[in-house]
Structure 1
């Protein structure tokens, strides 16, 4: 469903726009994704709305086809890109999971501030963004996804999430549409 409204208590959560995740190939030009996320950040900050910057510094302990157990990423991998213009009032969450909720105090932060809706942007569509959207939906938040401020390593994975998963979790629209709804 196309995004139709934003609650007055909407927060922006930007997922993993950091040196390491942007260092590889992406389905959509990384610079464009970062630029749109920066536009969203500026609009949310201008209205005094909550901004959350989430980065990842490792992996959980579970074994996968990609490797055994937990591992830590180098600090340079986890560094948020400067284009985000990180501000002292931003909430920054560092995690070793796909979802920004898992293993962090994000839910408590949102609840304490009366947040009822989140807008998501970032990378990777089918990993961190989708996992955070699923967690938010399961916790009762309204979810909106700025589709042109999200990308994945794989165009097929991105398209599958956008077409099949996101409509069941919330509303989608462009960064410009989200900004217009901020008023």
Structure 2
């Protein structure tokens, strides 16, 4: 059921979620950043639009706080470089970056506006964590009408079970899933 992809780089954006110094260590496989970098190179080589997304909390009071059954992740004082993109993905000062203050990359940012102004109707999505910020962004994108391609080995969660649950139960209903190699092979055809 893995149909080929017909990618028009002028209408497709790569959206990378939270590949930043304070979050990337959660990728125990070590594959997310190298696979994401291959995608960055492919998009840059085809003049594609890339959105590098990070999460930053000003002083912790801007983080969402609700009562939950699960322990809340710390969002207060972080190390000074916590929100910096990892250098391996090659973000430059000319690249488009989005800073979010919650899970999803669309809510409270200008991401949708910037994509629509460029005529983009498809996003290629990857990052950390699969079941939290990537999935939240994917759900928002689906509701906004974007076509989506999820790069499964360029994303990770805090457990394999969390990662696989989103890949198995959520993503098939809102887009297409590919590995980085499958995506890159199919767009070169």
Q: TM-score by structure 2 length?
A: 0.87
Indicate how the Cα distance of structure 1 residues 115 and 170 shifts in structure 2: closer, same or farther if over 3 A, else same: same
SS of the residue corresponding to residue 87 of structure 1 reads: coil
Is the Cα–Cα contact under 8 Å of residues 16 and 123 in structure 1 kept in the other structure?
yes
Partner of 2:81: 76
1:20 match: secondary structure: coil
Structure 2: runs of 5+ lacking an equivalent: none
> How much does 1:48 deviate?
0.3
2:42 maps to 43
Q: How many correspondences in the alignment?
A: 180
Structure showing the higher helix proportion among its residues = 1
1:87 Cα shift?
Answer: 2.7
Corresponding position: 1:174 with 2:176: no
2:95 aligned to which of 70, 82, 90: 90
Cα deviation for residue 6 of structure 1 reads 3.8
Q: Answer yes or no: is the 8 Å Cα contact 2:64–2:102 preserved in 1.
A: no
What is aligned with 1:2? Answer: 2
Q: Call closer, same or farther: CA 1:131–1:3 in 2, change over 3 Å.
A: farther
How far has the Cα of 1:67 moved from its partner? 4.4
Structure 1 unaligned blocks of 5 or more: none
8 Å Cα contact 1:146-1:174 kept in structure 2: yes
- Seen in structure 2, the aligned counterparts of structure 1 residues 181 and 68 have a Cα distance that, compared at 3 Å, is closer
RMSD of equivalent CA atoms: 2.0
Alpha-carbon offset, residue 177 of structure 1:
1.7
Q: In structure 2, what is the Cα distance between the partners aligned to 1:68 and 1:113?
A: 35
